[in-house]
A and B are shown apart, each in its own frame.
Chain A
């Protein structure tokens, strides 16, 4: 039976939560079709790999070098493609993060194979059948993969990590350095580290209802109280109140957090496209007819400048107890 190769993403030498999610997705496939799950870590020396067996891997390959600390598209693509060609893999699985979205198509082109990105469900029905949103989530496709191998990337926050009770064997692989056509020279990080909307399990987004950039401390505070990330509508990003990285929607990020709080956001179709798969949606808006209430599980009709401070207060009290 064919095996699955899972690219395990690290940042600053630490495996990300999405690595466990990707292993969970691979595990569910292998449980249905047989074969093994092999993880592959590409990064700097010393990435901690414990717990990967429990998370679903039968075997973990590690490729470590100092110059692989940052994501480098060319060597990463070469290393993963070489590994994929070495084993009996019918699927290469990644996370649909900034890295996975860049790496996946490169792998598919190198392996001359199909690519299904941002997958939200996997199933085996003779062939592999994946579910993926299209039209910014306004529709969902079931796609049958008729040629193998294939490359698929899974959307963050969709597959829950598993505890399989396995122990994985570890193998270090040496690779020679090859051509680097485009080189990542550094990563600029904001002075204040914030969680990214696409990866956060709670997102608090603000819209034009906030009246101006000076009021976004309300959004930041609420996000922080909830342990989530601040997000924004396009209207406020275009106005320059918030960075584009925070934009949720058709021309921003698609998010599926457990809790999405929309504050002073009307709920335009392009915004809904980016957040409608959130598990629980809360809307705070003073217009009871705002379209956002049609998708919200819980709505509060009112002035956000009164509701949000109260919400922050009550959460603080809760935290205090």
Chain B
């Protein structure tokens, strides 16, 4: 199978976010960037599914630093990479989706995989948008996948249940945690990744219809209090919840 995986470079989940001097973006200095955790599931799934004759192409949109993220996916085992080079990632997910769709269109992919969301912007949108722009079947946030003879069945978690969805290939899928266990790049993989092809294409991101006017840190929670120690604290806890917080 020929499979494309779209991946994004994001701040590590441990990052303590600081607001940059412009007041509307994250201060990037000192931040460690990683392959978006959900995209790891997508890369892993592609590697498991591609088969002997297959190919896994990693596509990412962003600035030059994104090459490192693409190399991470190549080190996991993907075959080649494409960087759609822009000055940064636009705030409007449709702009990103359009550029990715234009790159993927005509690529003859059996599967196009995404993470369910990027842990920076949290749009939960780009994969589904690309599917719609390309007119392909799409199942989002999948935790289980069966594929055979050009047909697929995927499962996605919904509130209090699991939806079972049938589709045929080519298709777009977005990966949730639970789909698989992503591998760590081995040393050999890291060495080989350096030699794998990575094509850089200039892309022109329009401004789109969204503008971040301010980024702030959420207010610190007002310091709470320890109501007591051990089981004897329970009556005071209940009293506080009933009469002070009024949530019981």
Contacts and interface: CB of A to CB of B under 8 A. Distances in A.
Given A105-B126, A288-B226, 9 more contacts: A98-B156, A117-B123, A139-B26, A140-B215, A250-B119, A280-B245, A297-B245, A300-B233, A306-B230
Given A113-B209, A297-B221, A298-B237, A280 B247 contact: yes
B10 to A, nearest CB: 9
A281 B241 CA distance: 10
Contact of A142 (B136, B139, B155, B212): B212
Interface of A: 11, 70-71, 73-74, 77, 97-99, 101-102, 104-106, 108-110, 112-118, 129, 132-148, 150, 181-190, 193-196, 198-199, 202, 226, 244-245, 247, 250-252, 258-259, 269-270, 273, 276-277, 279-282, 288, 293-303, 306-307, 309-311, 314-315, 318
B216 A296 contact: no
Contact of B94 (A112, A117, A198, A251): A112
16 contacts: A105-B123, A109-B131, A115-B125, A117-B123, A133-B218, A135-B17, A188-B155, A244-B143, A245-B160, A270-B14, A295-B221, A298-B240, A300-B230, A309-B231, A311-B238, A314-B234
B2 to A, nearest CB: 20
B128 interface: yes
B181 to A, nearest CB: 10
B163 A187 contact: yes
Nearest to A136: B119
Interface residues of B, number: 87
B245 A98 contact: no
Given A199-B159, A250-B13, A299-B227, A77 B132 contact: yes
Given A250-B13, A269-B16, A301-B229, A138 B217 contact: yes
Contacts of A118: 122, 124
A104 to B, nearest CB: 7
B133 interface: yes
A73 B122 CA distance: 21
Given A108-B94, A140-B216, A145-B210, A315 B238 contact: yes
Interface of B: 11, 13-17, 19, 24, 26, 37-38, 91-94, 97, 119-133, 136-141, 143, 155-167, 171, 176-178, 208-218, 221-231, 233-235, 237-238, 240-241, 245, 247-248
Contacts of A141: 24, 212, 214-215
A279 B241 CA distance: 12
Given A141-B215, A187-B164, A116 B210 contact: yes
B158 A99 contact: yes
Nearest to A99: B158
Nearest to A251: B177
A259 B218 contact: no
Contacts of A188: 155, 161-162, 164
Contact of A293 (B125, B213, B226, B237): B226
